[in-house]
Amino acid sequence: MNNGKDDNWIGRVNPLAVILLLSPAILYAIVLLLPTFDDWTYYTAPSFDGLFNYRLLPNSSYWRPFDAAFGWLLGLDHRMFPALNHIVVYAAHVGVTVLVYRLATAMGLCKTARNIGTVFFFTSPAMLGTVYGVDALNQACSHFFGLLGLWHYFNRGRKPRVALWLTCVFVATLWKENGIMFFFIAPLFAFGISGPGSPGGGWGRLRSGMVWGVVASAAYFALRIALTTAYVDINHEYFESTPVAKLLDVAMFIGMAWVPVDYVSLVHAPSRNLLLVAATAAMSMPFIVVLLFSQRRQLVSRPLLTLAACMVMAALPHLLTIFTTMHSYAGLSMAALMVAFLADKADGYGRLAPLFAMFVASCLFVDWHHWQKSYDSGLMGRRMGREAIEKTGEPVDSVYIVSLAGHERKYSSFCVLPADAFAWGNTAVAATGYKWPAVCRDTVVAVEDRRMVDSLADRALALGFKRVWLVHGDTVDVIR
């Protein structure tokens, strides 16, 4: 019984229906976002090496065969890039949104509460680094299959469907390594949410689930070791950090999930607007603060502590290695279920409903502002690529690129530097339909050392490069 809790506008509107109705317009806007920086060089860019190439096997700090296969698919017709990437990422995001709704229902939460949690997940700025990302298929799809596995294990508090859980989570792990955490999240979730007396709860079920998780994880690592090529290129950036950097990662993890403000206006110096930061905080934070403080006793309840632990576990691989705005997505579904759980305990929604409306309005503005910056960054890269080709005038097979670097700083994939938008000449190659130049080599020179440019250009010609491009600001010039 919901005791009239759903007799309000939040409870009466089905968020999934609204999302599906709006999806064509949302997807159209997202498809307009163009690749920048390493979107052009990661596995999910068009690959012309054939399906069975080194990327299918473990050869680096990661093993992501689905990404490799997707790059091969794009190579069959490069015009699908990046639209197909965006379509798959958005479909996965909608899929996770549906699973959040279904899990909230299976937890026995009232309709108003599960609607709040669903909309929180779908609109939260913490999802932007993934949903707007061209190379974020692994993050979105890993989370979808991991949560689908959790859904099968939880099974509405009944006996877990172990085979389906293990299969889904193994697929999630092959999409991205952090998916492996759902081998352990699912048993903990069922234990904490179902309670000791249910078929999915109890210490015995928790122990057996964890044993299955250890066995499945060991099988994954054994397979990975067996398939590893003779040479593995380890990205040391994953393992080189400082305590201060880790504290900043934790702050970003917490902030992106629970402090939804306009981070473009806060972090990116050229776009800094503290009035917008204050305005979005004033609109979004009252809902979070009231929700948390009105349910203070629930903050130490078994279900909420379980969800909090699951949230941390989902993001833990990123927190231990590299944490960026994209990685905030890993724990977002658990944050949404925490919000839904707390909302379910509210005595009424007379005060919470208008605060939630303000929260959503703030999130939508932040989502739009990040979209605008991402759109502008992509357009800049495409314009620079076309400019380089037009100024070159004729097809050449090799180009040497000198990029002048100042002291500007980017903000994730939303506000990128011009040289990053140009992506080591990849936007120029794409402008020719991947016909030329076949070889691009890049070097970065500090703007204070500009005097070195001429000698670098002469050396490049001596090495056989046919043209030398100079990237300065958002302009590309042919200097040799």
Do 389 and 345 fall within a single domain? Answer: no
Average pLDDT of the residues of the chain: 92
- Same-domain status, 324 and 469: no
How many other CB atoms are found less than 10 A from the CB of residue 469?
28
Domain count along the chain: 2
Task: Indicate the residue among 336, 357, 374 that finishes a domain.
Answer: 374
441: β partners: 400
When pLDDT is cut at 50, 70 and 90, the band that residue 284 belongs to is: very high
Determine, yes or no, domain membership for 137. Answer: yes
Minimum mean pLDDT range among 99-103, 111-115, 350-354, 389-393: 350-354
Could you tell me if 267 and 387 lie in one domain? no
Q: Domain for residue 173, yes or no? A: yes
The verdict on residue 21 lying in a domain is yes
Would 4 be classed as within a structural domain? no
- Angle at alpha carbon of residue 219, lines to 216 and 225, rounded to 5°: 145
What is the sign, positive or negative, of the torsion defined by CA atoms of 109, 110, 115, 120?
negative
284 and 408 share one domain: no
Q: What is the pLDDT of residues 307-321, one digit of tens each?
A: 999 999 999 998 888
3-state SS record for the chain: CCCCCCCCHHHHCCHHHHHHHHHHHHHHHHHCCCCCHHHHCCCCCCCCCCCCCHHHCCCECCCCHHHHHHHHHHHHCHHHCCHHHHHHHHHHHHHHHHHHHHHHHHCCCCHHHHHHHHHHHHHCHHHHHHHCCCCCHHHHHHHHHHHHHHHHHHHHHCCCCHHHHHHHHHHHHHHCHHHHHHHHHHHHHHHHHHCCCCCCCCHHHHHHHHHHHHHHHHHHHHHHHHHCCCCCECCHHHCCCCHHHHHHHHHHHHHHHHCCCCHHHHHCHHHCCHHHHHHHHHHHHHHHHHHHHHCHHHHHCHHHHHHHHHHHHHHHHHHHCCCCHHHHHHHHHHHHHHHHHHHHCCCCCCCHHHHHHHHHHHHHHHHHHHHHHHHHHHHHHHHHHHHHHHHHCCCCCEEEEEEEECCCCCECCCECCHHHHHHHHHHHHHHCCCCCCCEEEEEEEEHHHHHHHHHHHHHHHHCCCCEEEEEECCEEEECC
Contact 166, 210 (CB under 8 A): no
pLDDT of residue 1: 47
Is the same domain home to 309 and 425?
Answer: no
The answer to the question of residue 83 being in a domain is yes
Q: What are the tens digits of pLDDT across the range 450-474?
A: 999 999 999 999 999 999 999 999 9
Q: Name 36's Cβ contacts closer than 8 Å, sequence gap at least 6.
A: 134, 377, 378, 381, 413, 416, 420, 421, 423
pTM attached to this predicted model: 0.94
In a domain, 273, yes or no: yes
Q: Let me know whether 293 and 355 are in one domain.
A: yes
- Residue ending a domain, choose from 374, 394, 429: 374
Q: Are residues 329 and 413 in the same domain?
A: no
Q: Are residues 350 and 466 in the same domain?
A: no
Residue 450 in any domain: the answer is: yes
- Does residue 457 sit in the same domain as residue 366? no
On whether residue 386 sits in a domain, the answer given is yes
Same domain, 347 and 388: no
Which two tokens mark 166?
């293990």
Out of 135-144, 247-256, 275-284, least confident range: 247-256
Same domain, 167 and 208: yes
Judge whether residue 82 has pLDDT over 70: yes
Domain end call among 374, 393, 419: 374
Which pLDDT does position 199 carry in this prediction? 61
Whether the pLDDT of residue 232 is over 80: the answer is: no
pLDDT of residue 325: 87
Query: In terms of residue numbers, what domain contains 282?
Result: 9-374
Pick from 105-109, 125-129, 360-364, 403-407: least confident? 403-407
Whether the pLDDT of residue 281 is over 70: the answer is: yes
CA angle 251, 255, 258 (to 5 degrees): 140
The answer to whether residues 166 and 209 belong to one domain is yes
In the chain, what is the straight-line distance between the N-terminal and C-terminal CA atoms, in Å?
A: 76
CB 124 within 8 A of CB 338: no
